[in-house]
Structure 1
């Protein structure tokens, strides 16, 4: 379990669980809201995410996603000259709706 540096003793709502240079898996859990935005933005600066390749966003355990966090994800996905291929897996309907409102559907594939 990766700890949230801003809330010691709590699990981070997002962490990189796999990264091999070509494919990166970000795993989300709990609630990703304005209180977690800084943690998310710091994680999205991780050098493993700056290489072109594929990202999988595992969102099956994510219960709530704030619109500001969804926009941060969109910015991270689209900032590179060669954007990563992004797959969102397991997003609950409310989370999927927030991602859609942010525009992530234009650059990501959604799967069950």
Structure 2
């Protein structure tokens, strides 16, 4: 069942200027610190393109969406942010946090 997916944030690919991160489960406020730590990973900071696979995200708390926004906008260099597989409910939260203004968001 989808509800059994444990919350996680995993860098699955880091090649050159591109990093792919898979997010899964219910990402609630208590996960915000882990999100911030993952996005402060040197591989993320060196990349110019972030691809976030959110297909397995069941719920995204507004606090976590803001953590994502802060990470993307405070990167040392401008990044291209692409979000794939986000459910409509997750897209609404991303929009509420302003992430859609700095990213391409695809279902």
Q: TM-score, normalised by structure 1?
A: 0.85
Alpha-carbon distance between aligned partners in 2 of 1:103 and 1:66, rounded to the nearest angstrom: 13
Aligned residues: 103
- Tell me by how many angstroms 1:12 deviates: 5.0
Q: Does 1:47 align with 2:17?
A: no
Offset from partner CA, 1:60-88 (integer Å, 9 cap, x none):
00000010110010011011242210110
3-state SS in 2 of match to 1:50: helix
1:108 aligns with 2:106: no
Correspondent of 2:61 among 61, 66, 76: 66
- Is structure 2 residue 18 aligned with structure 1 residue 23? yes
Query: Please, what is the CA RMSD of the aligned residues?
Result: 1.5
Q: Which moved more, 1:61-70 or 1:12-21?
A: 12-21
Which secondary structure does the structure 2 equivalent of 1:25 belong to? strand
Q: Residues 70-89 of structure 1: matches in 2 within 5 Å?
A: 70-89=65-84
Partner of 1:4: none
**Runs (5+) with no aligned partner, structure 1:** 1-9
Gaps of 5+ in 2: none
4+ residue runs over 6 A deviation: none
